[in-house]
Amino acid sequence: MLLATNRSPLFIESYVGTTVLSEALLGFFTINQPKDTITRIERIEADRLRMNEYWNNKKV
């Protein structure tokens, strides 16, 4: 079990700390993976970018 606090002095609680911790752990787990694993992750990322699945703050 992985526990991370989400307390904040703000009215709305933030999950940024939990997200960063999860992504860092996943990053460490992928460091020593075979090349096929990294290629697959890159392909998924490229598909998500192509399909505009990410929030874009840039003004058009």
Alpha-carbon Rg for the chain, nearest whole angstrom, is 16
Return the pLDDT at 39.
Answer: 92
Q: What angle do CA 56, 29, 55 make, to 5 degrees?
A: 5
Is residue 3 included in any domain, yes or no? no
In the predicted model, what is the mean pLDDT of the chain?
81
Domain count, the chain: 1
Is residue 34 included in any domain, yes or no? yes
Is residue 59 included in any domain, yes or no? no
**Separation between Cα atoms, residue 26 and residue 20, nearest integer Å:** 10
Structural domain including 19 reads: 9-51
**Separation between Cα atoms, residue 8 and residue 20, nearest integer Å:** 16
Is residue 56 included in any domain, yes or no? no
User: Does the predicted TM-score (pTM) go above 0.75?
Assistant: no
Is residue 60 included in any domain, yes or no? no
